[in-house]
């Protein structure tokens, strides 16, 4: 039976197939969005899918001038007071497509005459049935409870829709390089397996990211929580300076996603401060030597990844880190305690 590690290693093939098979779907979705004169996106999701939504928030805003609001599903279920959604693309992102609260947001979007879109691994699911448009991420069966290949496939779907909306061919060319970059990261598997032994007894950490990789910080923290049971708190590096940094003392673990890009210098400044003024224990994912040299545990990204695509690659060493740390702690990577693959929240 496939394991979590197996599914992590399936990601290059999944992403390569998705680009090949679903480009026309992305272009058709973009065409309908343009026809409907959508003014903003309203996205409902939970768990890893919610973190994919954080990526969409940055990407569609930066590349497509499309504002995105993250829905509060309880307004639709318990409070029965949904907001007015005129002019919205109402979007549900869900691996299983079965969570009633996410489905309820699309139901209300349709009731208000909005265009609705489902990004899901289950094209026959209740979520897909409620949607005008469906993007099937085609990740195949994911047996491990913790999402890995479905998460990166959701990111790829969001990136493909962005490229289609922009109509810039060079972005499709950049997207086609993602599977090879992920392949390169996976070659660090044995190195990461040795590295995590240093953190076998870690019980608390923070995870930092900013910009496009704000999503990656949240997803890395989630993987650590659900697999290793560590209290892992994600922050923007900017928010972290507004109080939480006070808890960092000698040896406190700080995990950071710091690829090259517009927010690199502010992240690097934070790492320098944490290492030299707080004596923090740093695990750093980056393509930059200066950032990696600050870390006790550096995780190198391939050079040349455009910043907008770094979340699709930077999460992979984080997944391997969480997977191997789970094994080092003696826990089950495929069946975390108290969790199920499909969570039906209301």
Q: Which residues are annotated as catalytic?
A: 341
Torsion angles phi and psi, residue 69, rounded to 5: -110, 135
> Nearest to residue 155, comparing CAs of 173, 140, 135?
135
Quickly tell me which residue has 């026959």 as its tokens: 124
Element (H, E) at 110: helix 100-111
Torsion angles phi and psi, residue 70, rounded to 5: -85, 125
> Nearest to residue 78, comparing CAs of 105, 48, 50?
105
Query: Which tokens belong to 146?
Result: 């913790």
Q: Crossing angle of helices 47-64/214-228, nearest 10°?
A: 170
Query: Which tokens belong to 188?
Result: 């660090």
Please state, in angstroms and rounded to a whole number, the distance separating the CA atoms of residues 247 and 244: 6
Contact 94, 43 (CB under 8 A): no
Element (H, E) at 207: strand 204-209
Torsion angles phi and psi, residue 59, rounded to 5: -70, -50
Q: Which residues contact 185 (CB under 8 A, 6 or more apart)?
A: 301, 302, 313, 316, 317, 320
């Amino acid at each position: 039976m496939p394991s979590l590690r197996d599914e992590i290693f399936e990601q290059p093939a999944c992403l390569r197939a998705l680009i090949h098979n679903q480009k026309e779907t992305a272009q058709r979705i973009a065409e309908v969005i343009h026809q409907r004169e959508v003014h903003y996106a309203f996205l409902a999701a939970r768990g890893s899918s919610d973190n994919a939504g954080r990526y969409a928030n940055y990407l569609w805003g930066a590349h497509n001038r499309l504002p995105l609001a993250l829905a509060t599903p309880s307004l639709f279920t318990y409070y029965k007071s949904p907001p007015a959604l005129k002019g919205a693309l109402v979007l549900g992102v869900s691996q299983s497509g079965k969570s009633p609260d996410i489905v309820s947001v699309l139901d209300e979007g349709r009731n208000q005459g909005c265009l609705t879109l489902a990004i899901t691994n289950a094209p026959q699911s209740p979520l897909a049935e409620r949607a005008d448009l469906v993007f099937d991420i085609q990740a195949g069966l994911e047996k491990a409870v913790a999402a890995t290949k479905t998460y990166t496939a959701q990111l790829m779907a969001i990136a493909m829709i962005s490229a289609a909306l922009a109509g810039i061919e060079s972005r499709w060319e950049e997207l086609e390089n993602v599977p090879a970059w992920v392949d390169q990261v996976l070659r660090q598997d044995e190195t990461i397996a040795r590295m995590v032994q240093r953190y076998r007894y870690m019980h608390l950490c923070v995870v930092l990211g900013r910009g496009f990789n704000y999503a990656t910080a949240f997803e890395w923290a989630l993987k650590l929580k659900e697999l290793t049971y560590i209290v892992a708190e994600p922050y923007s590096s900017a928010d972290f300076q507004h109080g939480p940094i006070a808890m960092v003392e000698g040896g406190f673990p700080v995990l950071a996603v710091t690829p090259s890009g517009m927010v690199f210098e502010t992240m690097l400044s934070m790492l320098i401060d944490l290492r030299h003024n707080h004596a923090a224990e740093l695990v750093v994912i980056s393509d930059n030597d200066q950032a990696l040299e600050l870390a006790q545990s550096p995780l190198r990204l391939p050079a040349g990844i455009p910043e907008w695509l770094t979340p699709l690659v930077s999460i992979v060493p984080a997944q391997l880190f969480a997977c191997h740390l789970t094994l080092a702690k003696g826990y089950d990577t495929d069946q975390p305690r108290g969790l199920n693959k499909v969570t039906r929240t209301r």
